[in-house]
Amino acid sequence: MLLLLLLVALFLLVLLGFYVVVAAPRNRAHQTFAAFVLCLALWTVKDTVLWEFTAREGDAAWWAATSFILALALQYSLVVFALVFPENEPFPARRVAAIFSPGVVFVPATLAGLMWTQARFVNHSFAIRLTPLAYAFGLYVYIVFAYGFALLFQKWRRARGRLAAKQLGAIIFGLTLTVILTTVTSVLLPLFGITSLLPYASVLFLPGVVVYAYAISNFRLFSLQSALDQFRLFPVAYKVALSIASVAFVSFALLQVPVVWWSFGARLDAEAWRRYLVFSVITALVPNLILVALVMRILTRPLRRLTEAAVEVAGGDYGTQVSVESNDEVGLLASSFNEMSLKMADDIEQLRTLNEQLVRTEKLAAAGTLAAGVAHEVNNPLASISSLVQILQARVPADAADERTAETREMLRVISQQIARITQVLCDMLDFARQRAPQRAPLDINRALDAALRLASFDKDFKRLKLSTDFDPQAPRVSADSDQLQQVFLNLLLNARDAMPDGGELRLSTRHDPRANVITIEIADTGTGIAPEHLAHVFDPFYTTKPAGHGTGLGLAVCYGIITAHGGRIELAPNDSRGTRVTITLPVQTEPRELPDAG
């Protein structure tokens, strides 16, 4: 009966450790808890060998030494686990080294047999006499356990009301139950000479395992959220493990047992068969677990990463990459997936940009039609009003000194100024509505920028700016309308001036990209900049960020129309330091190929 309980305990411990490792092989908390479970499994194997397959006579010092060392290893793995769970953070190496340093003394002393004066069977009963050093060792073990337990308890208090609190509570309860039961059977009762319950110490691990299993199924203990949770899959790793276990069991029953029977026959008595069957099962666990671990590392883990990445891409996270480095089919599949994901992200970004351009073009066309109609309808009555105001101004004596006449003259002046403003707005609207096809000719972009700078320099506010240029002297010509591009450059320069009313730095640069066969023009200022929420609308007609009365919202829309008509792109973005950076990309003029001479 005891053997059956020990084998059940061993099987459940191996199953628990396997589940924890498979859930996240690289997770520190999973690794350290698996190490803790491995120590429990080795403890069970140790007890199985002693109590079921060792003669109840003679020396048992090996069992005592193994018990001391495994007890210390259990507490060490518990402390590391308490430091990294549930955050999965790196543990403080110096603190851990300070806590573990006494083990440098205790482990060699244990191997030298300094912890006991007697550890043997006497009259078929186990007897052990401990030295004072063993009591110091036991005290150290419980201090290390108390430290790890306190860490878990503190995290449990901080995590109240969250799922992590339930997970930590289950671990604390399982540890408490296991420590109490094993302390009573393996420490307290033997101190009073009662060793009859020592064989059942490993069986008492089962209540803790049941607690952990309950927490796994109800509190998602050691279960990491992933993109595959929604599919309720049966992981490939579990299928591989079941397949290996099934094949191992069938081959053991159908091949190994008959071979042993044929080889040894009647020479094996019942006790020999019991030893063979039990230890064959125990020793078969190691190579089978190693085989499962290798399959997981080579096949199932990369496949899981690929599957999670594919689910993320299907959910709209285009461009997702998976890091799988191998020179086999899985590595080739991962590399192809990464290229496909990047290509898909690039294609979708291009489609989005094209869609924005189409929408903006439609807006420009509709706004141009509206602007032409409004300008036509308003311009005629406005001209009549301007003529009447001029007549009234002529009738008011310029040298009249009375207050009433002076007030009338001032009001007429203000009216004239406002009519001039309206007229300018109408002119802008008509310019916007009457965009003509560019009259292209070979154009030196550097010279066009210089010409725009000369025009802007006549403005007194523009002269306050600190100007720097970085023109590419090898930049080839572009096929463009010089007047229209000069209008674009001048508009952008004056916008930069308006963004820096107190002065600032303005930098103009050009560069040629021979691979893309384009010229890039950058105009960067250190002004007030454009808020991120405005960047998507700056090229929309009548959209302006300037104060009322200082802009019509048509300047950048006109620039956008001209640049796109030239087959280029214009983009606005925040400058590296502060302000705004305008980037214009224009295709380089292609030289006509020379035809070969006939004949």
- The domain that contains 412 carries what CATH number? 1.10.287.130
The answer to whether residues 182 and 242 belong to one domain is no
pLDDT-based confidence at 270, cuts 50/70/90?
confident
pLDDT-based confidence at 392, cuts 50/70/90?
confident
Say yes or no to pLDDT of 97 above 80.
Answer: yes
Nearest to 241 by CA among 303, 280, 296: 296
How, if at all, do strands 478-480 and 518-525 pair? unpaired
Say yes or no to pLDDT of 93 above 60.
Answer: yes
The answer to whether residues 194 and 68 belong to one domain is yes
Nearest to 22 by CA among 214, 234, 219: 234
The answer to whether residues 255 and 382 belong to one domain is no
Residue 332 lies inside a defined structural domain of this protein: no
User: Distance (Å, rounded) from C-alpha 580 to C-alpha 527?
Assistant: 7
Residue 580 lies inside a defined structural domain of this protein: yes
Residue 255 lies inside a defined structural domain of this protein: yes
Residue 327 lies inside a defined structural domain of this protein: no
Q: What was the pLDDT predicted at 368?
A: 58
Among the three residues 188, 223, 258, which one is the final residue of a domain in this structure?
223
pLDDT-based confidence at 429, cuts 50/70/90?
low
The answer to whether residues 450 and 362 belong to one domain is no
Across the range 203-215, mean pLDDT stands at: 90
Among the three residues 379, 407, 434, which one is the final residue of a domain in this structure?
434
Q: What was the pLDDT predicted at 437?
A: 64
The answer to whether residues 273 and 359 belong to one domain is no
Q: Which residues of 534-565 are buried (b: 16+ CB within 10 A; e: fewer)?
A: eeeebbbbebbeeeeeebbbbbbbbbbbbbbb
Contact (Cβ atoms closer than 8 angstroms) between residue 324 and residue 302? yes
Mapping DSSP onto H, E and C, the string for 90-149 reads CCCHHHHHHHHCCHHHHHHHHHCCCCEEEEEEECCEEEEEECHHHHHHHHHHHHHHHHHH
Contact (Cβ atoms closer than 8 angstroms) between residue 167 and residue 219? yes
Following CA atoms 384, 386, 388, 391 in sequence, which dihedral angle do they give, to the nearest 10 degrees?
-140
Find where tokens 């190929």 sit: 593
The answer to whether residues 427 and 448 belong to one domain is no
The answer to whether residues 557 and 572 belong to one domain is yes
Q: What is the CATH number of the domain that holds 444?
A: 3.30.565.10
- What's the structural domain count of the chain? 4
Q: What was the pLDDT predicted at 571?
A: 87
The answer to whether residues 231 and 218 belong to one domain is no
The answer to whether residues 124 and 216 belong to one domain is yes
Across the range 16-32, mean pLDDT stands at: 82
Residue 334 lies inside a defined structural domain of this protein: no
Among the three residues 407, 434, 461, which one is the final residue of a domain in this structure?
434
Q: What is the CATH number of the domain that holds 46?
A: 1.20.1070.10
pLDDT-based confidence at 371, cuts 50/70/90?
low
Task: For 528-550, write each residue's pLDDT tens digit.
Answer: 887 777 776 677 666 566 555 45
**DSSP structural state of residue 265:** G
Say yes or no to pLDDT of 577 above 70.
Answer: no
**DSSP structural state of residue 266:** G
Say yes or no to pLDDT of 313 above 90.
Answer: no
Phi, psi of 56 (to 5 degrees): -80, 55
The answer to whether residues 205 and 270 belong to one domain is no
- Its domain, for residue 69, covers 2-223
Task: For 99-114, write each residue's pLDDT tens digit.
Answer: 999 999 999 999 999 9
- Its pTM stands at 0.60
Residue 340 lies inside a defined structural domain of this protein: no
Task: For 445-503, write each residue's pLDDT tens digit.
Answer: 998 898 888 878 877 788 888 888 899 888 888 988 887 888 888 888 888 888 888 88
Residue 594 lies inside a defined structural domain of this protein: no
Say yes or no to pLDDT of 182 above 80.
Answer: yes
The answer to whether residues 451 and 407 belong to one domain is no
Q: What was the pLDDT predicted at 597?
A: 46
Residue 262 lies inside a defined structural domain of this protein: yes
Q: What was the pLDDT predicted at 596?
A: 45
Establish how many alpha carbons lie within 13 A of residue 276's alpha carbon, considering only the half-sphere containing its beta carbon: 16
- The average confidence (pLDDT) of the chain is 82
The answer to whether residues 277 and 299 belong to one domain is yes
